[in-house]
């Protein structure tokens, strides 16, 4: 292989790397856009005893979105005895499926760390007259 062939191969490899990077960028943007849609969907879910959405209440601990549009949500409830313990996680899953392009949705209820009012957003505290 002479120097000219090697240079052509290097240019082709560099071009291929640039194309790969460009192809990956939209996937990252799609993942972030889906995550935003998931947040919007979650914000339509309310604890029946508190007139603030569960996202602003701080009940959503984590939202993970894969490039394959798989969504995993870790959430908690205001207490283990919460009357909506049986219905709220299902509502969250249903709203995400209805309002987004997620291919798969898993909602997990976790109790650690335990929820406390300090986890509410400033907007939630204002809405509840706590500020």
pLDDT in tens, 116-126: 999 999 999 99
Work out the number of other CB atoms within 10 angstroms of the CB of residue 75. Answer: 22
* DSSP E strand stretches across 12-128: 60-65, 70-75, 104-109
**pLDDT tens readout for residues 21-48:** 333 444 678 999 999 999 999 999 998 8
Residue 57: its H or E element: none
Give the pLDDT confidence score for residue 2 in this predicted structure: 53
Supply the DSSP string of 91-116, one letter for each residue. HHHHHHHHHS--SEEEEEE--SSPP-
Work out the number of other CB atoms within 10 angstroms of the CB of residue 117. Answer: 12
For helices 3-42 and 88-99, what crossing angle results, to 10°? 130
What is the three-class DSSP state of 53? strand
pTM for this predicted structure: 0.77
**CATH number for the domain running over 3-127:** 3.30.300.130
Rg (the chain; Cα; Å):
22
Please state, for a pLDDT cut of 70, what percent of the chain lies above it: 79
């Amino acid at each position: 292989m002479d120097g000219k062939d090697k240079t052509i191969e290097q240019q082709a490899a560099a071009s291929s790397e640039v194309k790969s990077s460009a192809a990956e960028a939209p996937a990252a943007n799609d993942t972030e856009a889906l995550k935003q849609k998931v947040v919007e969907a979650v914000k339509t879910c309310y604890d029946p005893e508190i007139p603030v959405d569960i996202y602003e209440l701080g009940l959503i601990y984590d939202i993970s979105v894969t490039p394959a549009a798989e969504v995993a949500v870790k959430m908690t409830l205001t207490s283990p005895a919460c009357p909506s313990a049986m219905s709220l996680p299902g509502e969250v899953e249903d709203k995400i499926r209805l309002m987004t392009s997620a291919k798969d949705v898993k909602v997990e209820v976790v109790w650690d760390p335990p929820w406390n009012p300090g986890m509410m957003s400033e907007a939630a505290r204002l809405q509840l007259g706590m500020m």
